[in-house]
Amino acid sequence: MRRTRAGADRATFPPMTPVRTVLFDLDGTLIDSVRLILDSYHHTLAAHGLTPRTDEHWLRGVGTPLSVQLAEWGHDPAALNAMIATYREYNLANHDQMVTVYPGVVAAVEALRAAGLGTGLVTSKNRHGALRGLTLVKLERMMDVLVCADEVTNPKPHPEPVEKALALLGADPRATVYVGDSIHDMVSGRAAGVRTAAALWGPFAREHLEDATPDYWLETPGDLLGFIPSGESS
């Protein structure tokens, strides 16, 4: 795990403050669901007779809710709702066959919890979809709280989802890190006053996230163990 120079110099995140809470994004961070997400968007546009978009187009919005990704059609609420329903039907029908956990994630989260750190999920999926993914990879009991898109007024990149998780946990922002794979995660966490960690095993390369200046660069899930305070690892 490497910390950026900007993160090390920022007074609000003193290096002597140990991490006590780790918040996670879901898609592209804990579970490898990106191909399913992209295929679901492609299927949705095709099913509604709309001009296709590239993988790159949809990737730019990964980490934001469906209503944001499909905002181009938001002028017609009925059409937008129909598209969201099509997306979810396809996504759920193919979910268990296409979604996997990133190697090393389960062991790393188990180690964090064994060391006494709090954990939480902050995702742009609704609760039903988030629980489906967590349950599939046996992570549902490893999250102390879940904050999902259907439980906030302002989704990521707004700070509200991270702030809500902090409030539910009673966690100190200065001792909290938010781990995510997208720039939306980094912006949300930074705005909420927590440290941010970029998960480079997801779909985005370091170059895509550098402008968000995350405090930590995580090359592999094993780097999460670096958040365990010295002397508390098992």
**What stretch of H or E contains 22?**
strand 21-24
2-6, 21-25, 42-46, 228-232, range with the lowest pLDDT: 2-6
| pTM for this prediction | 0.87
Query: Do 194 and 23 meet the contact criterion of CB atoms below 8 Å apart?
Result: yes
What does pLDDT average to over the chain?
91
pLDDT digits (tens, 9 = 90+) for 24-78: 999 999 999 999 999 999 999 999 999 999 999 998 888 788 888 998 898 899 9
pLDDT score of 64: 84
Domain boundaries, given as residue ranges, for the chain = 2-32+100-227, 34-98
**What stretch of H or E contains 186?**
helix 183-192
The topology (CATH level 3) of 2-32+100-227 is: Rossmann fold (3.40.50)
Tell me the average pLDDT across 134-148: 97
Could you list the active site residues?
A: 25
Q: Give domain 34-98's CATH number out of 1.10.150, 1.10.287, 1.20.1270, 3.30.2010.
A: 1.10.150
**Angle CA(24)–CA(27)–CA(30) in degrees, nearest 5?**
50
pLDDT digits (tens, 9 = 90+) for 177-218: 999 999 999 999 999 999 999 999 999 999 999 999 999 999
